[in-house]
Amino acid sequence: MQHPAVPELAHTTTQPIHWVATATAIAGVIALSAVLQPGPATAAQKTAGTRPQSAHAPAAPPGTTGVHWPLDCGPVKTLVAKKATGDLDGDGAPETVAVVHCDSAMGTPPDAVYVLTRTAARTTRVVATLVDPKDRLTVTDFAVRSGAVTATLLGYSTSDVPSCCPDLKTPAKWQWKDGAFIRSTPGRARTV
């Protein structure tokens, strides 16, 4: 009688009980992995040119909804035309800068530019006026970059120039320095 070179082993032939045992083992591993999840990652993230972020979520910038603007619009409402956020004073918390004017159906209402911050009580308040509406300016090319507010201001050479047609164009930049926003003019005023 000849014997095979490899003896027949019990586990080489499958039976339904083997499939049930395998399925049960896989289900157990999946269930155990769902229970034994690692904790949240706490390593600081850093991308080129930015500061590392902490494990805590960054502070949300102040919103513009419900803010009492220091702007007298009479019977019409105020309108936030543009807004941008950024850390202007270097404290790690973002500020919001808003271009606001009266929502007039006629004419070109002058713009105001306000800086908002969040208080310790988590409320929003206006902390600075960069452009006063009394100056009769329109704000364009508005941005917050690298801790500075930049804009192009359209204005008037005399009070005789109609509001529809500003004839001066002036670039402006504001930066926080020594407890105040300091305005500089990167270029000279030009006629439009």
Residue 27 pLDDT exceeds 90: no
Q: Decide: pTM greater than 0.75.
A: no
DSSP symbol at 28: H
Long-range CB contacts (within 8 A, 24+) of 178-181 = 181/88, 181/115, 181/128, 181/130, 181/149
Mean pLDDT over the full length of the chain: 78
- Say which residues have a Cβ less than 8 Å from residue 90's Cβ, sequence separation at least 6: 147, 176
Residue-wise pLDDT tens digits, 48-85: 444 444 445 567 899 999 999 999 999 999 999 999 99
What is the CA 17 to chain-centroid distance, rounded?
Answer: 59
Q: Could you tell me if 108 and 138 are in contact, meaning their C-beta atoms sit under 8 angstroms apart?
A: yes
Reduced to 3 states, what is the DSSP secondary structure of residue 25?
helix
Q: List the chain domain ranges.
A: 78-191
Residue-wise pLDDT tens digits, 134-149: 999 999 999 999 999 9
The radius of gyration of the chain from alpha carbons, rounded to an integer in Å, stands at 32
Reduced to 3 states, what is the DSSP secondary structure of residue 61?
coil
